[in-house]
Structure 1
Amino acid sequence: MTNKEDKTLRLLMPQWQGGNNPPYVLGAHLLNWLAPKTNGPFEEVPVDLDANLEKEQGIVGRSVLLKQARSAKSLIQKHRPDRVIVLGGDCGVELAPFAYLNEKYDGDTALLWVDLHPDVSISEDWPNHHAHVLTNLMGIGDKEFVAEVPRPFKPEQVLFVGLNDMMEALHSKPLQNMKFDIATPDDIEEDSSKVLQWLDSRKPSKVIVHFDLDVLDLREFRSLLIGES
Protein backbone atom coordinates (compact mmCIF):
# COMPACT_ATOMS: atom_id res chain seq x y z
CA MET A 1 0.00 0.00 0.00
CA THR A 2 1.49 3.36 -1.03
CA ASN A 3 1.08 6.51 0.99
CA LYS A 4 -0.65 9.34 -0.75
CA GLU A 5 1.45 12.50 -0.61
CA ASP A 6 -0.18 15.63 0.73
CA LYS A 7 -1.10 18.16 -1.92
CA THR A 8 -0.01 21.80 -1.58
CA LEU A 9 -1.72 24.39 -3.75
CA ARG A 10 0.22 27.53 -4.59
CA LEU A 11 -2.35 30.32 -5.02
CA LEU A 12 -1.34 33.66 -6.50
CA MET A 13 -3.95 36.33 -5.76
CA PRO A 14 -2.74 39.82 -6.70
CA GLN A 15 -5.76 41.51 -5.12
CA TRP A 16 -5.40 45.21 -4.46
CA GLN A 17 -8.93 46.55 -4.05
CA GLY A 18 -9.27 45.65 -0.37
CA GLY A 19 -6.84 48.40 0.53
CA ASN A 20 -7.16 50.33 -2.72
CA ASN A 21 -3.44 49.97 -3.51
CA PRO A 22 -2.83 49.05 -7.18
CA PRO A 23 0.94 48.41 -6.59
CA TYR A 24 -0.09 45.26 -4.71
CA VAL A 25 -0.58 43.63 -8.12
CA LEU A 26 3.11 43.97 -8.89
CA GLY A 27 4.04 43.06 -5.32
CA ALA A 28 2.13 39.77 -5.49
CA HIS A 29 3.82 38.80 -8.74
CA LEU A 30 7.22 39.69 -7.27
CA LEU A 31 6.49 37.45 -4.28
CA ASN A 32 5.55 34.64 -6.62
CA TRP A 33 8.80 35.13 -8.53
CA LEU A 34 10.90 35.24 -5.36
CA ALA A 35 9.28 32.29 -3.61
CA PRO A 36 10.94 28.88 -4.14
CA LYS A 37 9.41 26.85 -6.93
CA THR A 38 7.26 23.85 -6.09
CA ASN A 39 6.07 20.73 -7.88
CA GLY A 40 2.47 21.05 -6.75
CA PRO A 41 -0.48 22.66 -8.51
CA PHE A 42 -0.51 26.39 -9.19
CA GLU A 43 -3.44 28.73 -9.78
CA GLU A 44 -3.76 32.47 -10.26
CA VAL A 45 -6.99 34.16 -9.21
CA PRO A 46 -8.21 36.56 -11.91
CA VAL A 47 -8.13 40.10 -10.53
CA ASP A 48 -9.92 43.11 -12.00
CA LEU A 49 -7.45 45.91 -12.76
CA ASP A 50 -10.11 48.63 -13.07
CA ALA A 51 -9.24 51.33 -10.56
CA ASN A 52 -12.73 52.89 -10.50
CA LEU A 53 -13.96 51.60 -7.16
CA GLU A 54 -17.16 52.69 -5.47
CA LYS A 55 -18.34 52.22 -1.91
CA GLU A 56 -21.11 49.61 -1.83
CA GLN A 57 -22.99 48.89 1.39
CA GLY A 58 -20.17 50.56 3.29
CA ILE A 59 -17.35 48.61 1.62
CA VAL A 60 -15.10 49.97 -1.14
CA GLY A 61 -15.17 47.62 -4.14
CA ARG A 62 -17.51 45.18 -2.41
CA SER A 63 -18.83 43.41 -5.51
CA VAL A 64 -15.44 42.88 -7.15
CA LEU A 65 -13.96 41.64 -3.86
CA LEU A 66 -16.77 39.13 -3.45
CA LYS A 67 -16.27 37.97 -7.04
CA GLN A 68 -12.55 37.46 -6.48
CA ALA A 69 -13.08 35.63 -3.18
CA ARG A 70 -15.51 33.26 -4.89
CA SER A 71 -13.06 32.72 -7.75
CA ALA A 72 -10.38 31.80 -5.20
CA LYS A 73 -12.81 29.41 -3.52
CA SER A 74 -13.59 27.74 -6.85
CA LEU A 75 -9.91 27.24 -7.66
CA ILE A 76 -9.24 25.77 -4.23
CA GLN A 77 -12.20 23.41 -4.52
CA LYS A 78 -10.89 22.30 -7.92
CA HIS A 79 -7.79 20.82 -6.26
CA ARG A 80 -9.02 20.08 -2.70
CA PRO A 81 -5.47 20.53 -1.36
CA ASP A 82 -4.13 19.60 2.06
CA ARG A 83 -2.21 22.88 2.32
CA VAL A 84 -2.45 26.25 0.60
CA ILE A 85 0.33 28.79 0.10
CA VAL A 86 -1.23 32.17 -0.70
CA LEU A 87 0.76 34.97 -2.31
CA GLY A 88 -0.99 38.34 -2.32
CA GLY A 89 -2.18 41.02 -2.43
CA ASP A 90 -4.04 42.68 0.43
CA CYS A 91 -5.03 40.76 3.55
CA GLY A 92 -8.44 39.89 2.10
CA VAL A 93 -6.81 37.23 -0.10
CA GLU A 94 -6.97 34.86 2.87
CA LEU A 95 -10.73 34.73 3.22
CA ALA A 96 -11.26 31.76 0.89
CA PRO A 97 -8.17 29.65 1.71
CA PHE A 98 -8.43 30.05 5.49
CA ALA A 99 -12.15 29.31 5.43
CA TYR A 100 -11.46 26.21 3.36
CA LEU A 101 -8.73 24.93 5.70
CA ASN A 102 -10.74 25.45 8.88
CA GLU A 103 -13.65 23.56 7.37
CA LYS A 104 -11.44 20.80 5.96
CA TYR A 105 -9.85 20.13 9.33
CA ASP A 106 -13.12 20.43 11.24
CA GLY A 107 -11.93 23.41 13.29
CA ASP A 108 -8.89 21.53 14.63
CA THR A 109 -6.61 24.41 13.64
CA ALA A 110 -4.74 27.31 15.18
CA LEU A 111 -4.41 30.64 13.39
CA LEU A 112 -1.30 32.73 13.95
CA TRP A 113 -2.15 36.28 12.87
CA VAL A 114 1.32 37.78 12.39
CA ASP A 115 0.47 41.39 11.68
CA LEU A 116 0.86 44.94 12.92
CA HIS A 117 -2.95 45.26 12.76
CA PRO A 118 -5.69 42.87 13.94
CA ASP A 119 -7.89 43.18 10.80
CA VAL A 120 -11.08 42.86 12.86
CA SER A 121 -12.92 45.98 11.72
CA ILE A 122 -16.41 46.14 10.22
CA SER A 123 -17.75 48.41 7.49
CA GLU A 124 -19.27 50.83 10.02
CA ASP A 125 -15.76 51.48 11.34
CA TRP A 126 -13.62 51.27 8.20
CA PRO A 127 -14.58 51.02 4.50
CA ASN A 128 -11.59 49.02 3.20
CA HIS A 129 -12.14 45.28 3.32
CA HIS A 130 -8.53 44.34 3.97
CA ALA A 131 -9.22 45.33 7.59
CA HIS A 132 -12.35 43.13 7.80
CA VAL A 133 -11.00 39.73 6.83
CA LEU A 134 -10.43 38.18 10.26
CA THR A 135 -13.79 39.49 11.46
CA ASN A 136 -15.41 37.72 8.51
CA LEU A 137 -13.45 34.54 9.22
CA MET A 138 -14.98 34.59 12.71
CA GLY A 139 -18.50 34.91 11.28
CA ILE A 140 -18.94 38.65 11.85
CA GLY A 141 -19.59 41.47 9.40
CA ASP A 142 -21.06 41.72 5.91
CA LYS A 143 -23.42 38.76 5.46
CA GLU A 144 -22.20 37.83 1.99
CA PHE A 145 -18.55 37.71 3.01
CA VAL A 146 -19.51 35.74 6.12
CA ALA A 147 -21.46 33.30 3.94
CA GLU A 148 -18.14 32.37 2.32
CA VAL A 149 -16.97 30.96 5.69
CA PRO A 150 -18.78 27.64 6.35
CA ARG A 151 -17.00 27.04 9.66
CA PRO A 152 -16.04 30.29 11.42
CA PHE A 153 -12.94 30.46 13.59
CA LYS A 154 -13.42 30.80 17.33
CA PRO A 155 -11.46 33.46 19.26
CA GLU A 156 -9.54 30.77 21.14
CA GLN A 157 -8.15 29.50 17.83
CA VAL A 158 -6.40 32.81 17.16
CA LEU A 159 -3.10 34.19 18.44
CA PHE A 160 -2.12 37.71 17.40
CA VAL A 161 1.64 37.89 16.93
CA GLY A 162 3.43 41.25 16.71
CA LEU A 163 0.22 43.24 17.10
CA ASN A 164 1.08 46.86 17.81
CA ASP A 165 -1.57 49.10 16.27
CA MET A 166 -5.35 49.58 16.15
CA MET A 167 -5.70 47.37 19.21
CA GLU A 168 -8.87 49.25 20.13
CA ALA A 169 -10.58 47.33 17.31
CA LEU A 170 -10.40 44.21 19.50
CA HIS A 171 -12.83 45.91 21.88
CA SER A 172 -15.32 47.16 19.30
CA LYS A 173 -18.99 46.31 19.72
CA PRO A 174 -19.04 43.00 17.77
CA LEU A 175 -15.98 41.71 19.63
CA GLN A 176 -16.41 43.19 23.09
CA ASN A 177 -17.29 39.86 24.72
CA MET A 178 -14.49 37.92 23.04
CA LYS A 179 -11.12 37.20 24.62
CA PHE A 180 -8.05 37.14 22.38
CA ASP A 181 -4.51 36.00 23.08
CA ILE A 182 -1.73 38.34 22.01
CA ALA A 183 2.05 38.01 21.69
CA THR A 184 3.29 41.59 21.49
CA PRO A 185 6.52 42.68 19.79
CA ASP A 186 8.17 42.79 23.24
CA ASP A 187 7.01 39.23 23.93
CA ILE A 188 8.81 37.89 20.86
CA GLU A 189 11.82 40.19 20.78
CA GLU A 190 14.20 37.53 22.12
CA ASP A 191 12.59 34.32 20.89
CA SER A 192 9.31 32.69 19.88
CA SER A 193 8.77 30.77 23.13
CA LYS A 194 5.44 32.48 23.90
CA VAL A 195 4.07 31.42 20.53
CA LEU A 196 5.31 27.86 20.98
CA GLN A 197 3.85 27.67 24.48
CA TRP A 198 0.50 28.87 23.19
CA LEU A 199 0.50 26.23 20.45
CA ASP A 200 1.53 23.53 22.93
CA SER A 201 -1.35 24.46 25.22
CA ARG A 202 -3.87 23.98 22.39
CA LYS A 203 -2.27 21.15 20.43
CA PRO A 204 -4.04 21.76 17.12
CA SER A 205 -3.52 19.24 14.33
CA LYS A 206 -2.85 22.06 11.85
CA VAL A 207 -1.43 25.58 12.11
CA ILE A 208 -2.48 28.34 9.70
CA VAL A 209 -0.20 31.36 9.42
CA HIS A 210 -1.13 34.83 8.22
CA PHE A 211 1.94 36.99 7.64
CA ASP A 212 1.65 40.67 6.78
CA LEU A 213 4.90 42.41 5.89
CA ASP A 214 3.89 45.45 7.92
CA VAL A 215 4.77 43.52 11.07
CA LEU A 216 8.46 43.91 10.21
CA ASP A 217 10.54 46.51 12.03
CA LEU A 218 10.47 49.75 10.02
CA ARG A 219 13.99 50.50 11.21
CA GLU A 220 15.12 47.54 9.11
CA PHE A 221 12.49 47.51 6.35
CA ARG A 222 11.78 51.10 5.32
CA SER A 223 10.37 50.10 1.93
CA LEU A 224 7.10 48.89 3.47
CA LEU A 225 3.93 50.75 2.51
CA ILE A 226 3.28 51.67 6.13
CA GLY A 227 6.67 53.40 6.16
CA GLU A 228 5.14 56.16 4.06
CA SER A 229 2.82 57.26 6.86
Structure 2
Amino acid sequence: MFTQSKKDLAEIRNFLITETDFSTYEPNWFISISYLQDYSRDQLLKIHKRLNDVIQDTFDPYEMNVICKGYFIEKGNKKLVPEGSQIVLNTISNKYSYDKEMTLKDGAYGTHLVLTLCPSILDKPNKRIRKLWSTMYWDFGGKPPSYLLEEENQELLLAETLEFVIRDRCPSFIANGDDAIQVDRIDDRRVFKDTGEKGWKGALHYCTKQIFCKDQFLEVFDEKNSNICVA
Protein backbone atom coordinates (compact mmCIF):
# COMPACT_ATOMS: atom_id res chain seq x y z
CA MET A 1 0.00 0.00 0.00
CA PHE A 2 1.28 3.48 -0.90
CA THR A 3 2.10 5.85 1.92
CA GLN A 4 0.75 9.39 1.65
CA SER A 5 4.20 10.69 0.68
CA LYS A 6 4.41 8.25 -2.24
CA LYS A 7 0.93 9.24 -3.36
CA ASP A 8 1.87 12.92 -3.21
CA LEU A 9 5.06 12.32 -5.18
CA ALA A 10 3.19 10.28 -7.81
CA GLU A 11 0.69 13.13 -8.22
CA ILE A 12 3.45 15.72 -8.56
CA ARG A 13 5.29 13.68 -11.18
CA ASN A 14 2.12 12.98 -13.11
CA PHE A 15 1.29 16.69 -13.08
CA LEU A 16 4.74 17.66 -14.40
CA ILE A 17 4.50 15.05 -17.14
CA THR A 18 0.90 15.62 -18.27
CA GLU A 19 -0.07 19.18 -17.35
CA THR A 20 2.99 21.38 -17.98
CA ASP A 21 4.47 22.64 -21.24
CA PHE A 22 6.83 19.66 -21.20
CA SER A 23 3.89 17.51 -22.32
CA THR A 24 3.83 19.50 -25.57
CA TYR A 25 7.50 20.42 -25.94
CA GLU A 26 9.33 17.38 -24.67
CA PRO A 27 12.65 18.23 -23.00
CA ASN A 28 15.77 16.89 -24.64
CA TRP A 29 18.54 18.17 -22.32
CA PHE A 30 19.44 17.53 -18.70
CA ILE A 31 22.02 19.91 -17.25
CA SER A 32 23.51 19.45 -13.77
CA ILE A 33 25.49 22.27 -12.18
CA SER A 34 27.71 22.32 -9.08
CA TYR A 35 28.65 25.62 -7.50
CA LEU A 36 31.80 27.26 -6.22
CA GLN A 37 30.27 28.09 -2.83
CA ASP A 38 27.49 26.88 -0.55
CA TYR A 39 24.82 29.25 -1.82
CA SER A 40 21.44 29.70 -0.15
CA ARG A 41 18.24 28.91 -2.01
CA ASP A 42 17.55 32.63 -2.54
CA GLN A 43 21.01 33.05 -4.05
CA LEU A 44 20.36 30.10 -6.35
CA LEU A 45 17.23 31.78 -7.69
CA LYS A 46 19.37 34.75 -8.74
CA ILE A 47 21.84 32.38 -10.37
CA HIS A 48 19.01 30.66 -12.24
CA LYS A 49 17.88 34.04 -13.57
CA ARG A 50 21.40 34.63 -14.83
CA LEU A 51 21.40 31.21 -16.52
CA ASN A 52 18.06 32.05 -18.15
CA ASP A 53 19.47 35.29 -19.52
CA VAL A 54 22.55 33.53 -20.88
CA ILE A 55 20.56 30.79 -22.62
CA GLN A 56 17.97 33.17 -24.02
CA ASP A 57 20.23 35.85 -25.43
CA THR A 58 22.65 33.28 -26.84
CA PHE A 59 20.26 30.92 -28.57
CA ASP A 60 17.09 32.95 -29.06
CA PRO A 61 17.70 36.70 -28.66
CA TYR A 62 14.61 37.60 -30.70
CA GLU A 63 12.32 35.06 -28.98
CA MET A 64 11.40 33.24 -32.16
CA ASN A 65 11.83 29.69 -30.85
CA VAL A 66 10.41 27.54 -28.08
CA ILE A 67 12.79 27.09 -25.14
CA CYS A 68 11.26 25.42 -22.08
CA LYS A 69 13.16 25.46 -18.80
CA GLY A 70 12.46 23.64 -15.54
CA TYR A 71 14.86 24.30 -12.65
CA PHE A 72 15.11 21.82 -9.79
CA ILE A 73 17.25 22.28 -6.68
CA GLU A 74 18.95 19.31 -5.06
CA LYS A 75 20.56 19.36 -1.63
CA GLY A 76 23.79 17.38 -1.39
CA ASN A 77 24.50 14.77 1.25
CA LYS A 78 25.47 15.94 4.72
CA LYS A 79 29.20 16.01 5.36
CA LEU A 80 31.65 16.20 8.24
CA VAL A 81 33.70 19.39 8.27
CA PRO A 82 36.45 20.46 10.69
CA GLU A 83 35.38 23.23 13.07
CA GLY A 84 38.62 23.66 14.98
CA SER A 85 41.02 21.64 17.09
CA GLN A 86 41.99 21.10 20.68
CA ILE A 87 45.02 19.64 22.44
CA VAL A 88 44.38 16.17 23.84
CA LEU A 89 46.57 13.59 25.57
CA ASN A 90 47.15 10.35 23.70
CA THR A 91 46.99 7.81 26.53
CA ILE A 92 48.89 5.21 24.51
CA SER A 93 51.89 7.32 23.50
CA ASN A 94 51.54 9.67 26.50
CA LYS A 95 51.99 12.61 24.14
CA TYR A 96 49.81 15.59 23.41
CA SER A 97 48.44 16.17 19.93
CA TYR A 98 45.83 18.26 18.14
CA ASP A 99 42.43 16.64 17.75
CA LYS A 100 40.17 18.17 15.11
CA GLU A 101 36.57 18.80 16.07
CA MET A 102 34.19 17.70 13.33
CA THR A 103 30.67 19.00 12.74
CA LEU A 104 27.97 17.48 10.55
CA LYS A 105 26.73 20.12 8.09
CA ASP A 106 24.10 20.14 5.39
CA GLY A 107 25.33 19.41 1.90
CA ALA A 108 25.58 22.17 -0.69
CA TYR A 109 22.79 22.91 -3.14
CA GLY A 110 23.10 21.99 -6.80
CA THR A 111 20.90 22.63 -9.81
CA HIS A 112 19.28 20.35 -12.36
CA LEU A 113 17.94 22.10 -15.44
CA VAL A 114 15.50 20.15 -17.61
CA LEU A 115 15.56 21.93 -20.95
CA THR A 116 13.77 21.90 -24.29
CA LEU A 117 16.15 23.30 -26.91
CA CYS A 118 15.98 21.92 -30.43
CA PRO A 119 19.37 21.36 -32.15
CA SER A 120 17.90 22.83 -35.36
CA ILE A 121 18.34 26.21 -33.67
CA LEU A 122 21.93 25.94 -34.96
CA ASP A 123 20.88 25.51 -38.61
CA LYS A 124 21.22 29.26 -39.06
CA PRO A 125 23.40 30.34 -36.13
CA ASN A 126 22.91 33.93 -35.02
CA LYS A 127 25.80 36.35 -34.66
CA ARG A 128 26.20 35.64 -30.94
CA ILE A 129 26.58 31.93 -31.54
CA ARG A 130 29.04 32.59 -34.37
CA LYS A 131 31.05 34.86 -32.08
CA LEU A 132 31.01 32.18 -29.40
CA TRP A 133 32.23 29.58 -31.88
CA SER A 134 35.08 31.86 -32.95
CA THR A 135 36.44 31.46 -29.40
CA MET A 136 35.47 27.81 -28.89
CA TYR A 137 36.98 26.63 -32.14
CA TRP A 138 39.71 29.18 -32.75
CA ASP A 139 42.15 26.39 -33.61
CA PHE A 140 39.75 25.33 -36.41
CA GLY A 141 39.65 28.81 -37.91
CA GLY A 142 36.87 30.04 -35.64
CA LYS A 143 34.29 27.58 -36.91
CA PRO A 144 33.18 24.15 -35.66
CA PRO A 145 35.09 21.27 -37.27
CA SER A 146 33.29 19.85 -40.29
CA TYR A 147 32.20 16.64 -38.56
CA LEU A 148 30.25 18.65 -35.95
CA LEU A 149 28.32 20.38 -38.73
CA GLU A 150 26.99 17.08 -40.02
CA GLU A 151 23.34 16.47 -39.16
CA GLU A 152 24.02 13.37 -37.06
CA ASN A 153 26.40 15.38 -34.83
CA GLN A 154 24.18 18.43 -34.38
CA GLU A 155 23.26 17.44 -30.82
CA LEU A 156 26.93 17.11 -29.87
CA LEU A 157 27.60 20.59 -31.24
CA LEU A 158 24.71 22.02 -29.25
CA ALA A 159 25.88 20.24 -26.07
CA GLU A 160 29.39 21.67 -26.45
CA THR A 161 27.99 25.13 -27.12
CA LEU A 162 25.69 25.00 -24.10
CA GLU A 163 28.47 23.96 -21.75
CA PHE A 164 30.93 26.51 -23.11
CA VAL A 165 28.60 29.50 -22.90
CA ILE A 166 27.57 28.70 -19.31
CA ARG A 167 31.20 28.33 -18.21
CA ASP A 168 32.26 31.41 -20.17
CA ARG A 169 29.57 33.77 -18.91
CA CYS A 170 29.03 32.43 -15.39
CA PRO A 171 32.58 31.90 -14.08
CA SER A 172 31.98 33.55 -10.71
CA PHE A 173 29.70 30.83 -9.34
CA ILE A 174 30.38 27.63 -11.31
CA ALA A 175 32.59 25.13 -9.45
CA ASN A 176 35.98 24.13 -10.80
CA GLY A 177 36.54 20.86 -12.62
CA ASP A 178 35.14 19.11 -15.66
CA ASP A 179 32.20 17.65 -13.73
CA ALA A 180 30.94 21.02 -12.47
CA ILE A 181 28.65 21.20 -15.50
CA GLN A 182 27.23 18.07 -17.07
CA VAL A 183 25.17 18.48 -20.24
CA ASP A 184 23.42 15.25 -21.15
CA ARG A 185 21.09 14.56 -24.04
CA ILE A 186 17.88 12.88 -22.90
CA ASP A 187 17.33 9.64 -24.80
CA ASP A 188 13.71 8.50 -24.73
CA ARG A 189 14.81 4.94 -25.52
CA ARG A 190 16.96 4.59 -22.41
CA VAL A 191 16.20 4.42 -18.70
CA PHE A 192 17.28 7.66 -17.06
CA LYS A 193 19.89 7.01 -14.38
CA ASP A 194 18.43 4.71 -11.68
CA THR A 195 14.79 5.86 -11.91
CA GLY A 196 13.40 2.90 -13.82
CA GLU A 197 11.71 5.39 -16.17
CA LYS A 198 12.83 6.23 -19.69
CA GLY A 199 13.69 9.55 -21.25
CA TRP A 200 12.43 12.90 -20.05
CA LYS A 201 9.87 11.31 -17.76
CA GLY A 202 12.76 9.57 -16.01
CA ALA A 203 14.58 12.91 -15.80
CA LEU A 204 11.61 14.44 -13.98
CA HIS A 205 11.48 11.42 -11.66
CA TYR A 206 15.16 11.99 -10.86
CA CYS A 207 14.71 15.71 -10.16
CA THR A 208 11.87 15.09 -7.73
CA LYS A 209 13.49 12.30 -5.73
CA GLN A 210 13.95 14.54 -2.67
CA ILE A 211 10.26 15.45 -2.45
CA PHE A 212 8.34 13.67 0.31
CA CYS A 213 5.19 15.79 0.45
CA LYS A 214 3.38 18.37 -1.66
CA ASP A 215 4.64 21.21 0.53
CA GLN A 216 8.21 20.40 -0.49
CA PHE A 217 7.54 20.80 -4.19
CA LEU A 218 8.14 24.55 -4.27
CA GLU A 219 11.31 24.10 -2.23
CA VAL A 220 12.74 21.81 -4.89
CA PHE A 221 11.16 23.43 -7.95
CA ASP A 222 12.16 26.98 -8.90
CA GLU A 223 8.82 28.34 -10.05
CA LYS A 224 10.19 31.87 -10.43
CA ASN A 225 12.70 31.05 -13.18
CA SER A 226 11.03 28.06 -14.83
CA ASN A 227 8.63 28.71 -17.69
CA ILE A 228 6.65 25.48 -17.96
CA CYS A 229 3.41 26.80 -16.40
CA VAL A 230 2.88 24.78 -13.22
CA ALA A 231 0.23 27.11 -11.73
TM-score normalised to structure 2 length: 0.25
Give the TM-score taking structure 1 as reference length.
0.26
Which has a greater percent of strand?
Answer: 2
Structure 1 or 2, whichever has the larger Rg, is 2
User: Whose helix proportion is higher, 1 or 2?
Assistant: 2
